[in-house]
A and B are shown apart, each in its own frame.
Chain A
Amino acid sequence: MLGVGIIRGLIETGRNFAGSYVRSERLTTVQYPEARLAPLENARTIPFLVYDGEDPVQGLRCTACTICEQECPARCIHIVKDTAKKPDYVGKMQLQPAVFDIDISVCMGCGICVEVCPFDSIQMDLVFNLTATDRFAALLLHKERLAKSNAYFNQIHPKKSSGIDAHRAEEKSKAEAKARAAAAATTAKPPPTSAATCGAGK
C-alpha cells in the first residue's frame, strides 16, 4: 500500500535519532581533535628514522648505506655520510649519516625505502598534520625531526615492531654467544698476536 515504505523510513530515522542519544553505535562520529581514532597497523604517511634507547644520535639504527636514497622513486631522500663510526646493536662498527633529509612535499608515501632498508632503521610514520607556512624549507625534514624512538615505533606499529625487536634480540643473543665462545677460546689458547676482531659488545 502506498505510504508503508514512508512509514518504515520514518521509523528507522526515528530510531536513529532516539538511539543516538543513548547508544554509541547509533552515533559513530569521533570528534577530532579532542578524540582520535585508534591508528591502524598498516597506515602510513611519511617515513621516520628509528633510534634505540634514549639517545637519538647514538642509538640511531641508520648506517648511511644509501640504499633507500637510491631506491626512492621520487628521489626525495638526501644522505651525506659521516666519517666517524659507531657500534650497532650487535657491536659491529657502522657508519652513520651526518645529513639525512626527506623532502615531504615530494615523498609519495610508497614505503619502498622501508622495504629495502636492511637495518629496519627507516619506517613509515602516521603523522598527517604536517602543514607549514613555508612551501620549501619547512617541508624539508632533517635527521633531528625524523628520528623517533623505538618505543614510539612500538606504539604505532605494534605487530611490525615486535617482530623486528624479536629478530634483533635473537641476532644480538647469537652475537653475544659467539663473542663469549670466542673469548672463552682465546682464554683457553695463548693470546694471538694478530689484530683483535672487533671488540666484544657488552
Chain B
Amino acid sequence: MLNDLSFYALAALAVAAAVAAMTLRQLIHCALCAAGAFAGLAGIYFQLGAEFVGAAQVLVYVGAVAILIIFAVLLTRGGDVQLSARRFSTHWLAGVAVSILVLGSLAVPIFKSPSLRALAPAGVSASVKNIGYELMSGCVVPLEATGLLLTAALLGSVVIAMSEKPAARPRRDVNTPRRPELEEATHP
C-alpha cells in the first residue's frame, strides 16, 4: 500500500511539474519545474529499486542539465522575454488531435511489446556490480563511443568558448631595463 502511495505521489509530482514547465509564463520557472519533473522521475526509479539509474538521473539531470538549461536561458536573454498574453493558441483542436496521435503511436507499441510481459531473469539483481559487469562486457562499445562523444563535445565547447588570441606581439618583460637601440632592431 505504501508502495502504491509513493508511486502515485511521485507520478503526480512528475506530471504536475511537466505540465507547469509547459504552461508557466516565466521561462526560469519553466526550467525549475523541468528540474522538478526530473526529480520526480528519479524518485520513480528509486521506488522501482533501480538505485544506480535513479542516482545517475539526479546527478546528471537535476545537477547538470537543469543548470545548463538555466544558464542557457540566462545567457541568451530568454528570461527577459515574457510569453505573450495568449498562452493557448487558437488552433488548440489541431494540437489536441496531434498529441493524441503521438500518444497513441507511442502507447500502442509499448503495451504490445513482449518485453513488458517478460520477467527479469531469475537470480540476477540490478546491483551496481552487475551493471558494471554488463557495461564492461556487453555494452563496452557504446560506453567507449559515448566517452569519445563526450570528450569531443568538451573539446568543442572549449574551442568555442576560448577567446581569440591577440596577434602575437613581442612582449616586453617589465623587469629588464629598456634598451632603445635594441628595440629599433626588433620593431622595424
- Tell me, yes or no, whether A and B come into direct contact in the complex with CB atoms closer than 8 A: no
Binding site for B on A (CB under 8 A): none
